[in-house]
């Protein structure tokens, strides 16, 4: 198995050292560098171009926090994946981080097994949110997003189906909730994939997050 090369960005050295120490038990994951702030991670990406697959990113750091750092990294190095690891679990920060380009968001009270699972899932091109992050998204207040206007022509029914998809309902469960046939739900799902340009369910969830379509 090819090693996953990661960098760790956190303003607390003890946190960085702790993650590095615990990841030593996982032979398929290799820590190639670390940084204490957004400015440093940009320099690290330039120095180790091609040697970083994924960045574990804290949010609240120095002059350039994790959200701005994620935007800069994704603009300059779009192939690098970003996984947020933070204590901040409010819905607004989760949305901002997702809109910046992060593919995952987990909390620092998560166990090492969940962190490794998140790393692996994000590296497969999927998204990962811890249970507490998902709860914040679903229960949080929905506000319009002026930076990411919704340009696709989704119907009210498609938006309903999309919300249930993001809550991990199966087609049969969505059909039961909306009093539709499973075939009709499947057709809505195909339409959603086509209209949003998503390739799979993970892509639909990311689309919904970027455009603030969850939270009711």
Indicate if 71 and 166 belong to the same structural domain: no
Residues 65 and 129 in one domain: yes
Residue-wise burial string across 121-134, b where 16 or more C-beta atoms lie within 10 A, e elsewhere: bbbeebbbbbeebb
Listed residues 83, 107, 139: the one ending a domain: 139
Q: What is the pLDDT of residue 29?
A: 96
DSSP E strands in 26-156: the ranges are 29-35, 54-57, 81-86, 104-107, 128-129
In this structure, are 129 and 165 located in the same domain? no
* Dmax (CA) of the chain: 56
Residues 83 and 133 in one domain: yes
Specify whether 118 is located in the same domain as 201: no
Q: Enter the tokens of residue 180.
A: 């539709």
Same domain, 130 and 166: no
End-to-end CA distance of the chain: 42
Both 91 and 164 in a single domain?
no
> Strand pairing partners for 96?
none
pLDDT > 90? residue 181: yes
Lowest mean pLDDT among 144-153, 180-189, 205-214: 144-153
Query: Are both 163 and 127 inside the same structural domain?
Result: no
Same domain, 75 and 133: yes
- What is the average per-residue pLDDT within 165-191? 91
Is residue 204, in this structure, part of any structural domain at all? yes
Q: Given this model, what pLDDT does residue 216 score?
A: 44
In this prediction, residue 142 carries a pLDDT of: 43
Cα separation of 20 and 115, whole Å?
12
According to DSSP, the residues that pair with 83 across neighbouring strands are 56, 104
Q: Do 37 and 86 have their domain in common?
A: yes
* pLDDT tens-digit map of 126-163: 989 887 777 777 666 444 444 445 556 788 899 889 98
Between CA 5 and CA 64 the distance in angstroms is: 23
Q: Is residue 164 part of a domain?
A: yes
Tell whether 146 is covered by a domain.
no
Specify the CATH number for the domain of residue 169: 1.10.10.10
Task: Specify whether the CB–CB gap between 57 and 70 falls below 8 A.
Answer: yes
Picking from 86, 110, 139, the residue at the C-terminal end of a domain is: 139
Q: How far is 99 from 171, CA to CA, in rounded Å?
A: 27
Domain count, the chain: 2
The pLDDT tens digits of the residues spanning 40-94 come to 999 999 999 789 999 999 998 877 889 999 999 999 999 999 999 988 888 888 8
Is 167 within the bounds of a domain?
Answer: yes
With bands split at pLDDT 50, 70 and 90, how would you rate the model's confidence at 202?
confident
pLDDT score at 185: 94
User: What does the pLDDT look like over 10-44, one tens digit per residue?
Assistant: 988 888 988 898 898 899 999 999 999 999 999 99
Tokens found for residue 23: 């990841």
Domain range for 200 is 156-210
**139, 165, 185 - which closes a domain:** 139
Q: Are residues 128 and 190 in the same domain?
A: no
> Is there a single domain that holds both residue 166 and residue 94?
no
Position 147 in a domain: no
The whole-angstrom separation of Cα 118 and Cα 104 is: 7
- Any domain includes 192: yes
81 is a domain residue: yes
User: What does the chain come to in residues?
Assistant: 216
State if pTM tops 0.85: no
Q: Quote the CA–CA distance of 48 and 54 in Å, as a whole number.
A: 12
* Residue 151 located in a structural domain: no
CB 161 within 8 A of CB 189: yes
CATH code, domain with 61? 3.40.50.2300
């Amino acid at each position: 198995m090819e090693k996953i090369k990661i960098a760790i960005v956190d303003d607390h050295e003890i946190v960085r050292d702790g993650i590095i120490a615990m990841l030593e038990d996982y032979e398929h994951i290799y820590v190639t560098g670390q940084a204490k702030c957004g400015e440093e991670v940009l320099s690290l990406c330039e120095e180790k171009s091609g040697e970083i697959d994924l960045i574990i990113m804290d949010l609240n750091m120095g002059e350039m926090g994790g959200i701005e750092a994620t935007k800069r990294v994704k603009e300059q190095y779009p192939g690098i994946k970003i996984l947020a690891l933070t204590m901040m679990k409010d819905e607004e920060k989760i949305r901002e981080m997702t809109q910046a380009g992060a593919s995952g968001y987990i909390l620092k009270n998560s166990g090492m097994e969940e962190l490794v699972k998140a790393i692996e899932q994000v590296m497969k091109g999927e998204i990962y949110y811890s249970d507490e992050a998902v709860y914040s998204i679903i229960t949080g207040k929905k506000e319009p997003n002026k930076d990411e206007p919704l340009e696709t022509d989704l119907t009210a029914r498609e938006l309903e189906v999309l919300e249930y998809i993001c809550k991990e309902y199966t087609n049969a469960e969505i059909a039961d909730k909306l009093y539709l046939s499973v075939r009709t739900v499947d057709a809505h799902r195909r339409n959603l994939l086509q209209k949003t340009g998503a390739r799979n369910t993970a892509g639909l969830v990311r689309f919904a997050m970027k455009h603030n379509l969850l939270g009711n």
